[in-house]
Structure 1
Amino acid sequence: MPRMKHIVVAGAGKIGVTIADMLAASGDYRVTLADRAVGRFDGLNPSIATKAVDVTNPRELSDLLKGSFAVLSAVPFNLTGDIAVAAKEAGAHYLDLTEDVATTRKVKRLAEGAQTAFIPQCGLAPGFITIAAYDLIRRFDTLHDVRMRVGALPKFPSNALNYNLTWSTEGLINEYCEPCEAIVNGERREVPPMEELEEFALDGVTYEAFNTSGGLGSLCETLNGKVRNLNYRTIRYPGHAAIMKALLNDLRLRDRRDVLKDILENALPATLQDVVIVFVTVSGKRNGQLVQDTYANKIYSAEIGGVMRSAIQITTAAGITGVLDLLATGKIADRGFIRQEDIDLNVFLANRFGRAYAPR
């Protein structure tokens, strides 16, 4: 790249800080990290500029994005739509991590006629799993079933939920509560979250998986009329879904999400000792024969730039930084709505950031 491109990272949570660190360490990006909670700026890489900004304030957002190449949104899902609006007004490329379906629809509308790229869902799921799944999908003449499974799990579970907080609590609750897109027997449908529980084993460990919202990204639209069944489920250790359903439904905490967030954040410790599981199965016809292809990968926590990062931090940050790098180097389209399935898996894995997903 001929000169350093200015990147704004909105949101200085665990993921936002990791994104800013990775970009700054590359030497090719000038990074500004923005958040209204200035205490989150402590201990940052000194090459990262910081700015106290309330992203709900349009004027502050507009000033922040002026002259920037791109803004990467790592704020809670309910705030990221405002950043997309500001990005369009400022003429900056826009990337986010959201799993929220309504937010993505808003981003798609904003992308119409835009001279810059709008690339939502650049994290893990939605995000990388879509890139990996579409690499398998391309190999089939006729599709039957596409099953996508992802989980970010503690390596050493030690409570009844068999879970530790590894990313945004708001995002976790949202995907447990909102309707889920799917294609069932050739029909595009909404299915309830936390349902259709299944068990499977991988490398001798038993897991459960159940419907959660947002993980399919734009694949329901892309594959509508082309696949018999398409679904996304979140992976957990057995027993998790039953307890969460009791909290959400029997105790009616789905209607008091602020209370549930408070409970989870005060009861479940965070951990850096985690594992991310990506598991995709595609079946269909190839050369007249019924075949099945599977992609399975596990990514563990690791040290990056002298700092220990959780697997979910690494995978989520690698997703959005990898896509940004492909955008900045002209390897993907640079205007309009860009889907994750438009990104070639091998091109992504060859990228310096996307390499975090390369099988070890």
Structure 2
Amino acid sequence: MHIALLGAGHIGQTIARLLAATGDYQVTLIDKNPQALARVSGPGITTRQVDTEDQPALLAALRGHDAAVNALPYHLAIATATLAREAGCHYFDLTEDVAATRAIQQLADGARTAFMPQCGLAPGFIGIVAHHLAQGFDTLHDVKMRVGALPAFPTNALKYNLTWSVDGLINEYCHPCEAIRDGQTLEVLPLEGLEHFSLDGTEYEAFNTSGGLGTLCNTLAGRVRTLDYKSVRYPGHQALMKLLLEDLQLKDDQATLKDILRKSVPGTMQDVVLVFVTVSGLRDGQLLQEVFARKIFADRSETHPLSAIQITTAAGICAAVDLFREGKLPQSGFIRQEQVALPDFLANRFGKAYQQSRQVESIG
């Protein structure tokens, strides 16, 4: 299968190596940055320098490939998906942007090719887990999805390091969040809904952020009483982000905020990803709760060290492409994450990254 992989950042490089290593994929890695492209080489990978915002040039680069895998910033998702449709490529991406996903769903209507956005961790894997657990109940009450990509060794006041896209981070902190309350679909404010919990003896906080639910609000509408998604951070992070975004009004000057974060908050490869889903409801007349809780750690390999967010995000989109190639997903139109069967995902050669994680047994 010939893949046009757009974006040679940390995640794109990981996706390229994972897909090419199987021998089942020929990957053309496309980026405008020659230094980023130079970091990736090997059997099954060719690189091509293209300005990914130059639509005619990108369209020409996409032609002849079976699928486009988009690991570019979220604001390029709609344009890239439009070009993929024109080039006759299937389309997969990692976007957490709600508006982009809705636009891609419209693009997919009547298309001969498949469109599957939101294939990362959250949205992505988290929705696959929540939907799988929800199927085990006769009557659904509450579905709560919590995910955090956190530094293993927090040292600054934000108790945070940059583990993924700054653009994506600020986007999820600034946009309204979908939720279902008392059976009604509504929008809630980002950074609100603060809660505290402990997992494995560590204290955390969680609060509303945008995009993590994917399409679950539509899928579970009319079937669930409460559905929400929150990002997990160490205690104190939310208060400082509210100070920056609201009190200092940097949500209206996001370019400055991104510049400050890039200059002042170090990146790290030493991170941990938390996945925490609880579903409650009735089964055979009994009120029950099911929990899925995992920690995924960074890989400290000397040759190709990988952060936990690289592992989980790349595993998500590679598993989606692989299951599609195997015919386990629809071959045209819009594909929701929850159409992926969790057992299929975890049995997949890429999805096994989540199986090899540590299950968390004690939750307080």
After superposing on structure 2, the runs of 4+ consecutive aligned residues of structure 1 that deviate more than 4 Å are none
Query: Partner of 2:107 in structure 1?
Result: 110
Q: Cα distance, 1:81 vs. partner?
A: 1.0
How far does residue 306 in structure 1 lie from its aligned partner after superposition?
Answer: 3.3
Q: Is contact 1:55–1:82 with CA below 8 Å preserved after alignment?
A: no
Q: Name the CA distance, whole Å, in 1 between partners of 2:302 and 2:28.
A: 18
Task: Give the letter for the 2:47 counterpart.
Answer: T
Residue of structure 1 equivalent to 2:169 = 172
User: CA deviation digits over 1:268-327, x for unaligned, max 9?
Assistant: 111111000000000000001111100000000015793000000000000000000001
- Residue by residue over 1:64-104, the C-alpha shift from the partner in whole angstroms, topping out at 9 and shown as x without a partner, is 11110111111111011111001111111100000000000
Give how far 1:46 is off.
Answer: 2.9
d(CA) in 2 for partners of 1:46, 1:196: 47
1:13 aligns with 2:16: no
After TM superposition, the structure 1 = structure 2 runs for residues 165-314 of structure 1, keeping only pairs within 5 Å, are 165-303=162-300, 306-314=303-311
Seen in structure 2, the aligned counterparts of structure 1 residues 354 and 64 have a Cα distance that, compared at 3 Å, is same
Query: SS state of the match for residue 145, structure 1?
Result: strand
Q: 1:25 is matched with which residue?
A: 21
Cα distance between partner residues in 2 of 1:42 and 1:57: 21
- Correspondent of 1:97 among 94, 97, 110: 94
Distance in 2 (alpha carbons) for counterparts of 1:43 and 1:329: 30
| CA RMSD in angstroms, aligned pairs only | 1.0
CA contact (8 A) 1:144 1:228 kept: yes
Deviation at 1:55, TM superposition (A): 2.0
Residue of structure 2 equivalent to 1:81:
78
Distance 1:174 1:304 in 2: 31
Aligned to 2:362: none
In 2 relative to 1, CA 228–116 (structure 1 residues): closer, same or farther, beyond 3 Å?
same
* Paired AA for residue 33 in structure 1: L
Aligned counterpart in structure 1 of residue 52 of structure 2, from 47, 52, 55 = 55
Deviation at 1:45, TM superposition (A): 2.3
Amino acid paired to 1:123: G
- Bigger mean CA offset, 233-242 vs 7-16: 7-16
C-alpha deviations, 1:217-274, integer Å up to 9, x for none? 0000111111111000000000000000000001111011111111001111111110
What is the aligned partner in structure 1 of residue 361 from structure 2?
none
Give the whole-Å Cα distance in 1 for the aligned partners of 2:86 and 2:130: 33
What SS does structure 2 have at the residue aligned with 1:308? Answer: coil
The one-letter code of the counterpart of 2:177 is: C
C-alpha separation in 2, matches of 1:304 and 1:206: 29
CA contact under 8 A between 1:97 and 1:320: conserved in structure 2?
A: yes
> Structure 1 length as normaliser, TM-score?
0.97
Report the alpha carbon displacement of residue 42 of structure 1 after superposing the two structures with TM.
2.3
Unmatched tracts of structure 2, length 5 or more: 359-364
**CA distance 1:305–1:97, change in 2 (3 Å):** farther
Q: Which of 31, 34, 38 does residue 38 from structure 1 map onto?
A: 34
C-alpha offsets along residues 147-187 of structure 1, whole Å, 9 cap, x if unaligned?
00000000100000000000000000000000000001111
* Aligned-partner Cα distance in 2 for 1:140–1:346: 17
Structure-2 change in CA distance of 1:159 and 1:184 (3 Å): same
By how many angstroms is 1:12 displaced?
1.0
- Does structure 1 residue 157 correspond to structure 2 residue 154? yes
Q: Please give the alpha-carbon distance, in whole angstroms, between the structure 2 residues aligned to 1:184 and 1:53.
A: 45
How many pairs align?
356
Residue correspondence of structure 1 range 340-351 to structure 2 within 5 A: 340-351=337-348
TM-score (normalizing by structure 2)? 0.96
Distance 1:329 1:150 in 2: 29
Residue deviations 1:121-147 (CA, integer Å, cap 9, x gap):
000000000011111000000000000
Unaligned runs of 5+ in 1: none
The answer to whether 1:142 aligns with 2:142 is no
